Amino acid sequence: MKLNPPLTLKETAGFLHARYLGEPDFPVTGINEIHMVEPGDLTFVDHPKYYSKALSSKATTIIINKEVDPPAGKNLIISEKPFDDYIFLVTKFRPFEKATSMVSPSATIGEGTIIQPGAFIGNHVKIGTNCIIHANASIYDHSVIGNNVIIHSGSVIGSDAYYFQRRPEGYKKLESCGRAIIGDNVEIGAVTTIDKGVSGDTIISQGTKMDNHVQVGHDTFIGQNCLIGAYCAIAGVTRIEDDVILWAGVLVNKDIVIGAKAVVLAGAGTDRSLEGGKTYWGIPAIEARKKWREVAALKILPDLLQKLR
């Protein structure tokens, strides 16, 4: 999330009643969690396992629960609870806004777009031209929809990221301040959910088509002209490149890349990146021809074992 206008390091630390190490007037231009940071962004770290990752990231302001010497170009805010302070800033600058109507007066809707009865269009949503938003679809605040997009009934665009920190007293939610962005000529099937980014954007690029009951996790990027079959579940911070086909029921783990023009056959699942231009099947997914040979071998295994007795 970008801050407009930017804050200074001193102002940011002041909101948190915390000490800072760095130049008081250093600009803080955005708030981002570690997966999406850019120069000018503020992020947080609260576990020794991730200190190095945060301090060497592109973020230039870091809320941290340990006093260390700031690396070159970095500024620190010293906090007992970096996670909580990060959430405080998120909710301060991107607070929840109550809806006052089914179509928010702050939404921008392009010429020729049809909003069917019962559809919900949240605050600050932008919808392009010649779209169809079917009955009972919900488009949450700050989402961006391109031109010639079709969103079928029961789908939710821009729901919160599934992101929690476990604590002795229960789970603490990492509040979402990102967006969901849908490109031109995308079609989204019924009862599909596309989560917004935690602090960046979840992006569905132009020409991609989704069947019904698809789940897309936070901060995921899906390229152009992909086909996503029914019941696919795509975890957060995943990158699916152009012209990929995921047939029905494919499971994709977080933080991986599926290369351009890859095809993943129905019912497969992967927890690792897949090279583009190949066809995959199985759990874990491997090249389909190899998997089929494995299945054929398994079919004759009982007879082989019988002969060995």
Distance CA(126)–CA(1), nearest Å, equals: 17
Report the distance separating Cα 11 and Cα 29, nearest Å: 12
On whether the CB atoms of residues 165 and 129 are closer than 8 A, the answer is: no
Q: What is the pLDDT of residue 299?
A: 83
Is 218 among the residues known to form the active site? yes
- Amino acid residing at 4: N
**Mean pLDDT, range 175-182, rounded to an integer:** 96
The residue-averaged pLDDT of 191-210 equals 97
Q: What are phi and psi of 303, to 5 degrees?
A: -65, -40
- Two structure tokens written together for 90: 């998120």
CA 70/CA 66 separation, integer angstroms: 11
In percent, the amount of the chain with pLDDT more than 70 equals 100
Q: What is the pLDDT of residue 119?
A: 98
Q: Encode 126-153: b = buried (16+ Cβ within 10 Å), e = exposed.
A: bbbeebbbbebbbbbbbbbbbbbbbbbb
| pLDDT for residue 10 | 97
Cα angle for residues 193, 267, 138 (degrees, 5° grid): 10
Residue 88 pLDDT:
97
Q: What is the mean pLDDT of the chain?
A: 95
3-state secondary structure of 120: strand
The residue whose two tokens read 């760095």 is 22
Backbone angles phi, psi at 28, to 5 degrees: -110, 105
User: Residue holding tokens 């990752």?
Assistant: 53
Measured in degrees and rounded to the nearest 5, phi and psi for residue 114 equal -110, 125
Given this model, what pLDDT does residue 101 score? 97
User: pLDDT band at residue 84, thresholds of 50, 70 and 90?
Assistant: very high
Write down the pTM of the prediction. Answer: 0.92
Which alpha helices (DSSP H) does the chain contain, by range? 9-16, 48-55, 82-93, 288-308
Average pLDDT over residues 105-118: 98
**Domains within the chain, CATH numbers bracketed:** 2-93 (3.40.1390.10), 108-289 (2.160.10.10)
Spatial separation of the C-alpha atoms in residues 176 and 166, rounded to whole Å:
17
Whole-number Å distance between alpha carbons of 261 and 223: 10
Residues of the chain with pLDDT > 90, as a percent, come to 91
pLDDT at site 99: 96
Phi, psi angles (nearest 5°) of residue 286: -130, 175
What was the pLDDT predicted at 52? 93
Q: pLDDT tens digit string along 113-124?
A: 999 999 999 999
Higher pLDDT, 293 or 96: 96
Q: Which of 142, 152, 213, 218 is catalytic?
A: 218
φ/ψ bin of 256: left (φ > 0), alpha (ψ from -120 to 50), beta (otherwise): beta
Residue 67 · residue 46 · CB < 8 Å: no
